[in-house]
Chain A
Amino acid sequence: MITKRDAVESPIEIDDTLKTFIESGVSVVVGTRDEALVPEIVRAWGPQVNRDRRTIRMCVPEATSVRTRTNLLGNGRIAAAFSLPSNYETVQLKGRHLRTTKPSVEDLLRLDRHRESFARVNESIGVPRARVEAFWLRELAASPRFVTIHFVVLAMFNQTPGPEAGAPR
C-alpha cells in the first residue's frame, strides 16, 4: 500500500521493459543503512513488480537479513540493484520500505523460477550450473527460511558499468 508520505515523495512508475528486466535472471542485492549510516547488504530472490507498477516485492533469507530488516524498520531507506550477468546491464532502484511479510506460496514459486533463470543466464557465459547451485545450497544452509520485503520505488538509475553509470533512468 502506498502511504501519504510516499505519495509526497512521488513514486515512479515502472514500464514494461524494466518490469521484464527486473523479473528476468538478474542478480539482486539490497542495500540499507543503520542510524550511524553504516551500510548493510543482503542478496534477494524472486523480485516482482506489483500491479500498481510502483511497488516491488522480493524475498531475502531470514537468518542473514536481520540487520537489513532492523534498518528497514528504523529508517525505511532501501536501494536494490538488478544486474544481468550476461551483459552487466544494471539498474538500481531506490525507495522506501513498506512492510515485511511472510512469503506467500506465489513468492516462493517465483523465487524458484528466478533461481532457475539466474542459473541459465550464468550458464550462457560459461559459469557451470553446479557453481550456482552450490551458492544456493550455502545460502539455504545459512537460512532455510525467507521473508518478503515490500518497497515503493522513488528513484531509478542506470548502473551499467561505464562513465554513464549512476545517471537517472
Chain B
Amino acid sequence: MSGAANVRGTLDTIATCFEGIVPATICSCAADGTPNVTYLSIVHRLDDWHVGLSYQFFNKTRKNVLENPMVQVIVVSPETADQYRLDLQYERTEVAGPVFDRMSTRLAAVASQTGMSQIFTLRGVDVYRVLDCRPVNAESQVEAAPLREYLARVESVTEQLATCLDLDSLLETALANLATLFGYANTFVMIPDEAGQRLYTIASRGYDASGVGSEVWLGDGMLGVAAERRTIVRTTSMTRDRVFSRAVRSSVEQSGKHHLEQEIPLPGLPHLESQVVAPLVARGELLGILCIQSDEVGRFLVDDERVIQIVGRHLAASMATLRNPPPAEPPAVEPRRAPRPAAGLTSTIKHYRSDDSIFVDEAYLIKGIAGRILWKLLRIYDTEQRLQFTNREIRLDETLQLPDIKDNLEARLILLRRRLADKSEVLRVVPEGRGRFRLDIRHPLVLVEHP
C-alpha cells in the first residue's frame, strides 16, 4: 500500500490526539501470527503522513515490526473523547536529526525530573507511514480543529517588549502580557548565575510567593535540561509522566541492576500538570529560561509552545540588547545625605566574605554578586550616609570585582530588589529612573563582617 490516498482525515485535523494527554494503544503482529497489544504514552505526529514512536527498550512490539511492519494504533482526542484508528507501516528508525533531538530532550527532561536519567534514554525514533486514519466510530466526522488565532496577540506582545527600556520593565511586561493576552497565569523567568552552573528566578507572576531567588542546577530536571540543551520542553500531564516513571522505577529497582537518582521537586505550582520551558538564547548564548505552568492537564498545546518559543526569542534578543550599558547613562548624582533612622529597634546585617552571603537578623537573604553589591551599598551608607546610587558607579567599582561586563548587573540589582521586598522588612532598593536607585532603610543597622 502506498498510503497517502487512504488517509481520510489528515493528522493535522486531529492534532490534539498527539499531545500525550490520553494514552494510545498499539497492536503489532509477529511473523508467526501472534498479535501483541500494549499501551503508548504518546504518539508523535511528524507530518501529515508520518508518526514517530520512541524506541527506548527492545520490546515485543519492536521485535514484531522488524518482522512484520504493519501495526495499528488507536489515539484519543482529549477534547471530544473520539477514538481514531491509524493503520501504520514501519519505515525506518532515526537516531539523529531534529526529530530525534527534540524527542530525546523531552525524554531527558522527564527522566531528570523523576530521577531516571540512567534508564530513560532514547535509542531511536521509529518512523511509521500512515496508511489510513479513520474514526473508530466510522460515522464520526473528522473536522478541522479550530485554528487558534494567536498571531495578532503575538504581534502585540513583541510590540510591547520593544518599548521597554530596562530589564525590570522588560520582564514585567513579558509576564504581564502573557497573562492578559494568552491567559498564562503562572509564569517565571530564570537566569544563570555568574558561574553559569545554576539558574535562579528573577521574575515571576501568579504564585503565592514570588519565588525570586529560587534555584535549579543546569541539566537538572525539566527546567535544567531545557536550559542545558537549549531546546523547548513541553509536558501536558506531569502526573502521567510521574506515574509512568515510577512504574519503570519500580520494575528497575526490583531487578536490582541500577542505583537510581531521586525525583526532583518541580519549582512552581504545587499541583503542576502542564508546563512549557523555553530557553532564552541570543547570539548563541543562554540568557535564561521562560516557563509557563498550569495545574490543568493538557493546558498547553502545540500553538502555546509556538507562542512561548516566539515570545522567548524576542525576550532573549531584548535582554541581550539591554544588558549593554546605555550610551547616555546619567552621571553620578550629587549624593543626598540621609538622616539616620530613628533610634530604637535595630537590625543586624551579617556578611560572610567566603560566599558573599547576607543574613538579616539571622535570616538568610542573598549571596553571590547580589550579596556583594548589597554589602557595598550598606558600607557606603554606613560611612557616608548616602542612600542614592547609580548603576554606573556600581559597574565601575573595581572593589566589587564584578565578572565580565557581559554579566548582567541589572539582573543582579533586580534580584536584590525583589529578594529584599520578599524577605526583609528592614531594607528596600527602590528604582529612581533610568540607571538610578535608592536604598530605603527602615531602622538603624549594625553591620557585622565575617570571613
Contacts and interface: CB of A to CB of B under 8 A. Distances in A.
A92 B424 CA distance: 59
Contacts of B57: 162-163, 165
A164 B29 contact: no
Interface string B114-143: 000001000000000000000111011000
B240 interface: yes
Given A30-B37, A39-B27, A126 B74 contact: no
Contacts of A152: none
A127 interface: yes
Contact of B39 (A27, A38, A94): A27
Interface residues of A: mostly helix, strand, loop or mixed? mixed
A161 B72 contact: no
Interface residues of A, number: 52
A42 B255 CA distance: 33
A55 interface: no
Interface stretch (A11-19, A45-53, A82-90, A107-115): A82-90
Given A39-B70, A162-B119, A80 B37 contact: yes
Given A88-B243, A126-B273, A162-B57, A38 B72 contact: yes
B28 interface: yes
Contacts of A90: 38-39
A157 B255 CA distance: 16
A161 B251 contact: yes
Contact of A81 (B31, B37, B119): B37
B33 A126 contact: no
Contacts of B59: 165-166
Interface of A: 27, 29-33, 36-43, 63-64, 75, 77-81, 83, 85-90, 92, 94, 125-127, 131, 134-135, 137-139, 141-143, 157, 159-166
Interface of B: 23, 25-29, 31, 33-39, 57, 59-60, 68, 70-74, 76, 78, 80-83, 85, 87, 119, 135-137, 139-140, 239-240, 243-244, 246-248, 250-252, 254-255, 271, 273, 297
